[in-house]
Every structure is written in C-alpha cells, then in structure tokens.
Amino acid sequence: MSTAMNFGNKSFTPRPPDKGAFPLDHFGECSAFKERFMECLRHSGYESAACRQSAMAYLECRMDRQLMANEPLEKLGFKDLIKEKSEEKPEK
C-alpha cells in the first residue's frame, strides 16, 4: 500500500520569477556605476537614501544594456529624482 497521496498527477511547470532574477554583468559593463554606488554607501554609513542618485544611474545602466527588464524609473521609486533632473535642465 502506498502512503503517498496522489492528487490527480498534476504536473508542475517551473517558470522564472517576474522580478528579482536577471543576467549577471559578466563583461563588467556597469561595474563603474556599481562601484560608485558602493563607495557612496560606505561614505554614508550604509544609508541607502543618501545614494539614490547612484542607485538610479546603476539601474539605468543595467536597463540600457539589457541586463534587466526596462522598467519606468518611477515604478522603481525614483519619481522625485526624475522630477529634480528635469527641473535642472535649462529649457530651450
């Protein structure tokens, strides 16, 4: 007699997560951005809020090089920095 319960032999098909898994930067295309972010964290006592500009630049680099899915920066929590960035640019 089998002790395992069989619930209709449903098969499980694994699928990758929507977010959180992305290709590694094997060629170091964004390593300069990553180093700037890490340096900022060290200087700020690992206070990530002080390094949001560096984090945004790093994520932009990854998206530009297809190392992560393109996502609006507003959805990644940088809406206020984008607004500041556009206000700094002189209008023509």
Classify residue 18: in a domain, yes or no.
Answer: no
Classify residue 17: in a domain, yes or no.
Answer: no
* pLDDT, tens digit, 9 for 90 and up, residues 23-76: 788 899 999 999 999 999 999 999 999 999 999 999 999 999 988 889 999 999
| 52-64 vs 79-88: helix crossing angle, rounded to 10 | 90
Classify residue 89: in a domain, yes or no.
Answer: no
User: What is the Cα–Cα distance from 71 to 80, expressed in whole angstroms?
Assistant: 16
Classify residue 65: in a domain, yes or no.
Answer: yes
Classify residue 40: in a domain, yes or no.
Answer: yes
- Smallest CA-to-CA distance from 53 within 43, 40, 66 is with 40
Tokens of 77: 């929590």
> Against a cut of 0.75, is the pTM above it?
no
Angle at 27 between CA 24 and CA 30, to 5 degrees: 75
Range of 50's domain? 27-71
